[in-house]
Amino acid sequence: MNKPKMATEKGVPSNSRVLMLLGQLERMNGEAMLKDVETARQVTAKILHLIQTQEKSGKEVMSKGSTGMEVILSSLENSRDVQTTLNILCIVSELLTVGRGRRVGVFVSKGGTGVLFQLLINASKEFPPSEELMLQLHSLLAKVGPKDRKFGVKARLSGALNVTINLMKQNLLNNKLLLPCLQVLRVYSTNLVNAVSLGKNGVVELMFKIVAPYSKKNTSLLKVALDALGALLKSKTNARRAVDGGFVTVLLTLYLDWHRNDTRHRHMLIRKGLLVCLRNITNIKLGRKAFIEADGMRILYNTSTECLPVRTLDPLINTSSIIMRKCFPKNRLPVPTIKSAFHFQLPNVPAAGPVAQLYNQPPGVDDVVDESDDNEEADADTENDTENDDDDKDLLVANDDIETDLNKLHPKRNPGRPLEELKVYERFFLELSEDFQGYNFDCSKSASTTSASSPFSSSSATTQSSRPIIVPTAQALSPKHVPVPSSQKDCNSTKGKHTLPSPSAPTPTLPAPLTPLELDTIHLTKDQDKKEKSHIPSPDTGTKLSPSQGQMIQQELANVLERVSLEEAGVLKAEEEGGNGDKQEESPVSATRHIQSPLLLGGIAARRVGGGGSNFGSDCGSEGAEDEGGEGAVLEVPDTALLLPLHDPDLYVEMVKGTRSVPEYAEVAYPDYFGHVAPTFKEPLLERVYGVQRSKIYQDIERLIHPNDILDKAVYDLDIPSCPVIEDNGESLKFNSQFESGNLRKAVQVRKYEYDLVLNSDVNSNHYHQWFYFEVSGMRVGTVYRFNIINCEKSNSQFNYGMQVLMYSVQEAISGRPRWVRTGADICYYKNHFARSSIAAGGQKGKSYYTMTFSTTFSHKDDVCYFAYHYPYTYSTLKMHLAKLEALRTPQIYLRQDNLCETLGGNDCPLLTITAMPESNSNDHICQFRNRPLIFLSARVHPGETNASWVMKGTLEFLMGTSPLAVSLREGFIFKIVPMLNPDGVVNGNHRCSLSGEDLNRQWQNPNPELHPTIYHTKSLLQYLVHMQRTPLVFCDYHGHSRKKNVFMYGCSVKETVWQSNITATSSDLQEDLGYRTLPKILSQIAPAFSMGSCSFVVERSKESTARVVVWREIGVQRSYTMESTLCGCDQGKYKGLQIGTRELEEMGAQFCVSLLRLKRLTGLRNHQHLLDLENDIMTHTKVVSSSTTTYVLEEDEPDFLEAIDYSAESNDEDAEAEIEQVGEILEIPDQLSDSETNHRE
């Protein structure tokens, strides 16, 4: 028996019946098929029967290596007989029905789509066309279309679009034929160009003849018709055509009809289809206007409210929400200008950039909103067929910012300025030339050196401030409490160049009282059975770190440095006794100080306690101001010295007096005065309640539906400088933000217990709204209050992923629990209806702000509470902390405090030098002292990243500690530390900028000495070190990250940057010491909050002017890092599922120090010039931890978010819609979400 010519798969019998028939069909192709029509019919009928009855026959035809599909398609092209063609179409249909799309893919790859279109064109030329043939063809095209990416283009080029349209017009009542035509039309319309063409041919109007009111008949056809109509209406031309035809009202009427009659919810997909049509129409301004005029807001609001109890109807509710939010009329932000409420005139204005635009803006320009708030795109006629480009877009976005210039990727030391100019900085490096020849090492009190230019001298306070400081709960030190300077012991240098004063000398730590303040009018009372004490350490009573701290750290080092404990034994014991602080008698703070209130400073009565007019009743003072020296109620102020040895309320007030702010703040916030004791209980990430965002959005929509319920009453407004607190009849909360680091511009009472809050822009800027810190009083106990911060700018936030706001209760503090706690329920972050002008959005029109909303309940009557974005850490707190640290120094510690420079606002920028004193003044010891490697640390260049200061606090306290680890660290390194690079921004409540209105971490390439003094002089310090051939071993800039979890580092690597880009490089180009990974690797092994997997060592173009990249590229520091600490919490390690607190942040600062010590110990480091890669050594000494090999980390690493945050017309609503249909609100699939602020990572 002869073998058929067609190829068969190995293992399939050559005498298979279906293959024999296909071989026969193959031989008939061409002339034979036309001549022997009957045989062709019989052969194709037999093949069809075999495939229908035997599953293996279909497998044989579609098996790999078989040419069965080519034979079938060839026969289909050559057949001129209708019955034979129908048989072959049925064969193809049967074959494609199974196989999960793989068979369809094979069919498309063999050119099947083109054959079907050609057959359709040929069949249309017959008159009348065969209905059965058209039915089969369209059914097959409906199956093939979704799998063929070129389907729309092929249909348009072949002329098939018109064939289908004409067939539909002729068969509107023939549902059997109409259904497959609509199915194909649905696929046609997914191509935007096709949709425009179909719209011009009247298909939109045709579709509205097909969609019908509620009926139990033909529901499948109606569903497909609505899908096709929805696809057509994605074209803006078609959407306009629908609006002009009055079809918005038609769609709303149909939706209402189906909603009322579909009581059993069996036709949800039809109702959803109607909403999708409305959603696409409202993507254009005309559509939104028509929707409002047709009372669409009320219709969708009412129908959605009725759907809320039925969980399965969530897709309808969510789509309705998107439509309503989009159509909600854009509101004006309730401020006169988006520029900061505070004005600071710059000494010179930059020639270009945002600040220059701000200053060059013509007077009278409305910068709050634009004339048109819609981002209308070009007409659909110009819409391109971009279906082929989709796959490439994500790739381009991901790698677009990576530096590809190899010349820029190779660090080249560039001192920048000649040594003659830099010699002025020699005074900041006295330790490099100090000979200690006249120093008496036997003097027990000669602990350290203190620069004469210390910013903490008494002259600092007296010369900088003559204004009265209003302290709500305490007062400046009474004259009898101001220590008298003791006589210094004779331990000074004989050369007279540099004095080494006693650590007990009060001059550098305690400013003298201000002369203008009438301190005699201050009344201070203490419990009679308690001895009066000053909080300023003295030689006898100075506060010391608990000895247990050093022992604990030393013990942990033996345990492979798994963690460093910052808790003092006394703190732990006291707080454990206090439990969670629910009962006042269990308070960890038992000592109290009784203070008269109100306080009179400088003859001016202090504001009533609470700042907004509230009072504490019997505890907190009278209703109004009393006469000077009059008796007031006594307020018990907790004595937190037991738990906070480095916090002194009185010293804090003194430091505030020397702090300069643009608004000239004269008040002190309670939390900064009392201090913060980290709670011992865990604060887990907030679990998001299902539907919480939707419920908040519906409350917002109700403002438009029921406007009579809205109060819209301003209760606090910084734009009324004379009286920001607007008095009322006591029915409103009282707000205040007029204190250091405070930020709240305006509060508007929307409903009785709901407030819209507007944040202030950074000074000399019109944006950066993120940091907030404000006071609330006058609350009712047990009432749920809702707060909406309505002018946020980032497109997503950790508030959507478990982060809570921070609250500080004064009543709790008085009860002995002075602490910030995470609070707030129903927290979510979403796009709102307040328009952001193009001036505020970088030239883009149609942008909106975002709302961060939370609800809270107050527990105490007449309380004063504070809310903050993160744990506040003010500039005055830093000054107090440094002064207290200075009192902790021992004779073995070399500590020097210099004033690096003065900021634009007139504040000092402290520079610290910390190391160990030499053992003696012998040449060997002095040489070892001078040649210690340098570690350069900085923090708080971005004021809103307060966590950076808490990490720095942990670092400083560790370095000044008495533990063996701290001693070893000081003996091994010289630390140069700038703990706050942006004092002005911190003081004035900025989030990102300095008073120049610029991000200082984008000025390192070419800092201006007038506009960016702290950056200019810090860079100059580094440049001086390059000239002196003392380049630091490590540079690290502490930051906070608002959109990722954990603590991690960004570094710089040529090799890893090249790996993440498409540039070609030689092996010599990629040569670099892998030591840059050592420090992060150590941290990942010893610090529980640190995540190596989140680290990145890729150099990006947008970061080329940051500290990390400039110090790496110009100064030549290979280990130049940014250490980012989360503002939210951790998703790995020991702290997984917990929000981060100050205890963990300070621990991280100490762990950083331990990692440096680990680095030193592993290398036996004495000279840092030749530090080798230590990764292998680390892996053998400590436990192995996994880390990712790819280090290019995008802006976010959160799972995809199912409740659409962005409800605007320009958003990708299709993707959001697909997500909303899923069950639940948050997927566990990691996904990087894009952000317009991608440059704001460091």
Single out the residue of 650, 622, 662 nearest to residue 989, CA to CA.
662
Report how far residue 937's alpha carbon sits from residue 1119's, in angstroms, rounded to the nearest whole number. 12
Q: How far is CA 317 from CA 304, 696, 770, 873, 1003, in A?
A: 5, 13, 30, 43, 48
212 is written with which tokens?
């019908």
AA letter at 401: D
Q: Distance between CA atoms of 1090 and 1134, rounded to whole angstroms?
A: 10
Is residue 370 within 8 Å of 845, Cβ to Cβ? yes
C-alpha distances out from residue 1153 to 563, 796, 981, 1082, Å:
12, 33, 20, 11
Cα–Cα distance between 594 and 614 in angstroms, integer?
Answer: 20
Which residue from 456, 445, 444, 446 is spatially nearest to 507, judged by alpha carbons?
456
User: Do the beta carbons of residue 971 and residue 916 sit within 8 Å?
Assistant: yes
Contact 193, 383 (CB under 8 A): yes
Of residues 305, 253, 258, the one with CA closest to residue 278: 253
Query: 787: which 2 tokens?
Result: 């707060």
User: Rounded distance, CA 628 to CA 519, Å?
Assistant: 11
The Cβ of residue 1210 has, within 10 Å, a number of other Cβ atoms equal to 17
CA–CA separation, 564 vs 844, rounded Å? 48
Query: What spatial distance separates the first Cα and last Cα of the chain, rounded to whole Å?
Result: 78
Residue 546: count other Cβ atoms within 10 Å of its Cβ. 16
Q: What is the DSSP string of 198-229?
A: HHHTTHHHHHHHH--SS-SSSHHHHHHHHHHH
Q: For residues 700 and 833, is the Cβ–Cβ distance under 8 A?
A: yes
Collect all residues with Cβ–Cβ distance below 8 Å to 771 and sequence separation of at least 6. 743, 759, 869, 870, 943, 944, 989, 990, 991
- Cβ–Cβ under 8 Å, residues 866 and 807: yes
Catalytic residue among 740, 754, 945, 1124: 1124
Structural tokens at position 418: 């000649």
C-alpha–C-alpha distance, residues 213 and 257, integer Å: 7
Distance CA(769)–CA(766), nearest Å, equals 9
**Phi/psi of residue 691, each to 5°?**
80, 10
755 CB neighbour count, 10 Å cutoff: 24
Contacts of 1223 (CB under 8 A, 6+ apart): none
Q: In whole angstroms, give the CA distance from residue 291 to residue 299.
A: 10
Work out whether the CA dihedral 512, 516, 520, 524 comes out positive or negative: negative
In sequence order, what are the beta bridge partners of 430?
none
Can you say how many angstroms the Cα of residue 1122 is from the centroid of all Cα atoms in its chain? 17
Q: Is 683 a catalytic residue?
A: no
Phi and psi angles of residue 1136, each rounded to the nearest 5 degrees, phi first: -55, 130
Structure tokens belonging to residue 618: 């019997």
E strand residue ranges, 817-967: 820-823, 825-836, 847-857, 864-868, 893-902, 908-916, 934-939
Look up residue 640 and give its two tokens. 């937190």
Q: Which amino acid is at 626?
A: E
Q: Rounded to the nearest 5 degrees, what angle is found at the Cα of 1211, between the Cα atoms of 1205 and 1216?
A: 55
Q: Which residues are catalytic?
A: 1124
